Chain A
Amino acid sequence: MAKNHLLTKEQMKVRYPRQWLLVTDYKLDRSTRLRSGRVVASSRDREEIHRALKKHKGKLCIHFTGSLPRDTGIVF
């Protein structure tokens, strides 16, 4: 990616479906939810995004654009 354009969360979901993103210059709404930001790394592998964290400093955001498949349950 030559230039990291400012994207809304909805645009990130369309451009990077079911991916983990590392986002900078982000903005939040009053309820601490991501509104927009610049995607500086994207991957289907979460570990890759965790590794990319080390190359950046300051205010960062990790965002996953997917959701759990409907046929998958979650129990912790």
Chain B
Amino acid sequence: MSRVTYDPSASSLVVDLLLQSADGTSSLLIPVVLDTGASLTIVATEILVQLGYDPANPRLKRQRIVTGSGVEYAPRLTARSATAIGQKVTNLEVLCHDLPAESGVDGLLGINFLRRFKLTVRFRKGIIELVKERG
């Protein structure tokens, strides 16, 4: 079972997200907030550039995103693979968007990743479980 523990008194659920580079030869592990309120997974611009993706490509679709502070548009691209809490997803769509450094993370792990699994968060014990469901 894929499971991580965290400080139950923490104000957000931070996990590590392993992203594979565009050419598959390298990878980068970054801290992200597990966010069931985010439709899509979000990754900071510099991270995607480092991995060989091109967020500035004018041919990329720009996704309309509604944030707490308004409406913005962000480039949407496909990451070769993304792994978190022991579970891997290939060809995951991610939005290129920068979160404030004060958040302590480089992105959000959103529903388009989480929906492929059964997610259990035991808030009182500080345990996150992510398992593949059969059927």
| Number of inter-chain CB pairs below 8 Å | 95
Q: What 1/0 mask marks residues of chain B from 36 to 57 whose CB sits below 8 Å from any chain A CB? A: 0110000010110010000000
Residue A1, interface by CB 8 Å: no
Q: Which of B84, B87, B108 contacts A76 (CB 8 A)?
A: B108
When distances are taken between beta carbons in the complex, the residues of chain A under 8 Å from B58 are none
Question: Complex Cα distance A28/B4, Å?
Answer: 12
Contact A72-B11, Cβ < 8 Å, known A57-B26, A60-B29, A66-B104: yes
Residue A70, interface by CB 8 Å: yes
Residue B30, interface by CB 8 Å: yes
Q: What 1/0 mask marks residues of chain B from 94 to 112 whose CB sits below 8 Å from any chain A CB? A: 0000010111111010000
Interface size class on chain A is: 20 to 34
A50-76 residues with Cβ-Cβ distance < 8 A to B are 50, 53-54, 57-64, 66-68, 70, 72-76
Contacting pair A30 B7 (CB below 8 A): no
Interface residues of B (CB under 8 A from A): 2-4, 7, 9-12, 14-18, 26-31, 33, 35, 37-38, 44, 46-47, 50, 67-68, 83-87, 99, 101-106, 108
Interface residues of A (CB under 8 A from B): 20, 23, 26, 28, 30-34, 45-47, 50, 53-54, 57-64, 66-68, 70, 72-76
